Structure 1
Amino acid sequence: MNTNFIIRGFGHYAPEKVLTNADLEKIVETNDEWITTRTGIKQRHIAAEDQAASDMACEAAKHALAQAGMKAEELTHIVCGTFTPDSMVPSTACRIQEKLGIKGQMCVDVAAACSGFLYAMQTARGYLMLEPDAKILVVTTEVISRFLNWEDRTTCVLFGDAAGAAILTSGTDDEDAPRVVDITLGADGKLGDLLTVNGGGSAWAYAKGDVVGDDHFVKMQGREIFKHAVRNMCAMSDKVLTRNGLSKEDVDVLIPHQANWRIIDAVARKFEIPEEKVFCNIAKYGNTSAASVPLALSEAVTEGFIKKGDLVLMPTFGGGFTWGAGLIRF
């Protein structure tokens, strides 16, 4: 098996508009203390009215391409992770391709909610196994603000809009670049009803003239999700470390899905990873679903939080339910 999956560049983007907890106090019955103590979130970014998921993805992709020293024309595949696509058809990946001004690449969307980045990365690794010369844009992008009920304080305070990207290619053992060591994934569809956006799907279709109902917006059972999230993120982390002959002591940096601080802290405590080794940017962005892990990775690299030689563990959990864990050696 080819294990030399090299990340050539990272990129991220968040919209200009910032919605603070103080701003939310004017919209819904909540306050800064309630939000901060339960989630760790202080603000989130909200897409402009004319910004789609593909627009944000293009900005993140451009940063990743620049870091990789590549032109968009060199790409052979675009894998996009999102549960808030521009449209049902065409795919958001195709829209990204169009907006990058290129054509001919294989384009596909992956829907795994908050686990979207690892699912998209694993998809890209599969393509690289078949086509070792491929140059793949892996990009995750979410405009969750369009799918929030702004009268529901249990959900609208949690989420933000953003995009993250990485350029993945094959490489050699001695390359001085970040390398994907391994990714492991799983899911349990029986738990899917604990976190949904049903409206508009074939099982919850709208007829012409229907009023958009509550099923169009994010619904979640937070307490149940918390238990499953911590349990499965830890289990998948154990699995990916064990099968690579590693232990929790080998982890230099923990970058979990940025769902809320309580989940991040619970996972870190179970793995006995000190807070100074945990990268967390949820206070600035909120839960950006599929974009959260690459956004955090990109920021951690830019800020120098991740050092040469570090082993980075990335556990994640999302609607479906989906979950996974990945390892990158820098």
Structure 2
Amino acid sequence: MAGSAPLSGPSGGVALVASGSARGEQQISNDQLGQRVDTNDEWIRTRTGIQARRICGPDQSLSGLAADAGREALSMAGWDADSLDLVLLATSTPDDLFGSAPKVQALLGARNAVAFDLTAACSGFLFALITASQFLRTGAMRRVLVIGADQLSSWVDWDDRRSCVLFGDGAGALALEACPADQDGLLGFQMRSDGSRGECLNVPQSRDRRPLVDGSSHQGGHYEPIQMIGQEVYKFAVREVPAILKALLQDTATSADQLDWLLLHQANQRILDAVADRFAIPHSQVLTNLANYGNTSAATIPLMLDEAVRDGRIQPGHRIASSGFGAGLSWGAALLRWQGPS
């Protein structure tokens, strides 16, 4: 960490202070996609709940989206960028294979912050939030900006009607601050991975071998478009998400009727409804904007969180059960308590 001394000792708590979001400037409706591939609005809506998705315009980039979301969070918090100790970017689609977080740090003017990427696909934001909280709990850092951002339109096969209807581009940010333990906003968490099922959803490196010297060859640096076995991913989500949420609620001695909101990764409306029904949570308490954005991977949870904070649905003190799930395969859950700006 540069430019800021650690706290004198562990604070024990993590305050969820402020949020921000950004999205691709181009809106593509289901009917518009039907002009390119053999699909239609009814087919997409009834199977996924998606009506449109946002795609980056020619002057937008992953780093730019992430920085825009971060600026909104800093503005809500009332923080100067140079007060940040860490910028943690959850993304699977960086502008630079070596990482985009340092670029985002520069765009924000967060000159005192260390910055690095974390890759866990659709679970990335929750994994990053949990990771960042450890720096704050130990007193090593005071203020952190966690950003979930993905530009999946770059990796979609737009002629594959099974997958091209699902994805979009967006970013969401959350400003976190060390606080006393009795004000903690991260009440519990669970994390899981199962690499044996990773081929159900991935972006594999192409098998492009090229001649080098004297009969040797090297691997070309290219990746295939998103590959997904949709039915397997669906079955994984409806099985594992309720299980990890149940474990989270048990560990935190929380009942479903004590929750104010259920905030899941926005992948498929049927998954959201199935999980809510499993816990007898009214659909009115399930936060969803999937219809307007599609699956923006690491961005879905913070983007939805920001919208609900800004329109007044989420209020200080509200308890939010959240779960991210997807490629890896990876999945996680966290019980959050919103604090808001002081």
**What's the TM-score, normalizing by structure 1?**
0.93
Rg larger in 1 or in 2? 2
Matches within 5 A, 1:1-330: 3-89=12-98, 91-172=99-180, 179-199=185-205, 204=207, 207=210, 216-330=224-338
Tell me if the contact between 1:192 and 1:320 (Cα under 8 Å) persists in the aligned partners: yes
Q: Work out whether residues 58 and 99 of structure 1, in 8 Å CA contact, stay in contact via their aligned partners in 2.
A: yes
Task: Report the CA distance between 1:260 and its aligned residue.
Answer: 0.8
Q: 2:83, 2:112 within 8 Å by CA — same for their partners in 1?
A: no
The answer to whether the 8 Å contact 1:234/1:315 transfers is no
Deviation per CA, 1:87-130: give whole Å up to 9, x if none: 112x1111101212333421111111000110100110122133
Deviations 1:179-201 (A, max 9, x none): 2212211110001000010136x
Cα distance in 2, alignment partners of residues 109 and 274 from structure 1? 36
SS of the equivalent of 2:28 reads strand
Relative to structure 1, the CA distance from residue 119 to residue 174 in structure 2 (aligned partners, 3 Å threshold; closer, same or farther) is closer
Number of equivalences: 323
Q: 1:321 to 1:255 in 2, by over 3 A?
A: same
3-state SS of the aligned residue for 1:237? helix
- Structure 1 residues 226-252: Cα deviation after superposition (integer angstroms, max 9, x where no partner): 111111111111111111111212112
Letter in 2 for 1:325: A
Change (3 A) 1:329 1:228: same
Find the aligned partners of 1:226 and 1:40 in 2 and give their Cα distance.
Answer: 14
The SS at the match of 1:255 is strand
Deviation at 1:207, TM superposition (A): 4.9
The 1-side partners of 2:143 and 2:175 are apart by: 7
Distance 1:223 1:307, change over 3 A: same
SS of 2:322's partner is strand
Distance 2:248 2:157 in 1: 37
CA contact (8 A) 1:199 1:217 kept: no
Contact 2:16–2:337 (8 Å) recurs in 1: no
Q: Measure, in 2, the Cα distance between the counterparts of 1:95 and 1:75.
A: 15
**Percent identity at matched positions?**
38
Q: Secondary structure at the match of 1:165?
A: strand
5+ unaligned residues in a row in structure 2: which ranges? Answer: 1-9, 212-218
Mapped to 1, the partners of 2:115 and 2:316 lie a distance apart of 32
For residue 286 of structure 1, what is the amino acid of its counterpart? G
CA contact (8 A) 1:166 1:294 kept: yes
Q: TM-score, normalised by structure 2?
A: 0.89
Amino acid across the alignment from 2:110: I
| Cα distance in structure 1, aligned partners of 2:193 and 2:182 | 35
Any idea what SS the aligned residue of 2:196 has?
Answer: helix
How many Å apart are 1:49 and its aligned residue? 2.5
Using the alignment, how far apart are the partners of 2:138 and 2:100 within structure 1?
Answer: 23
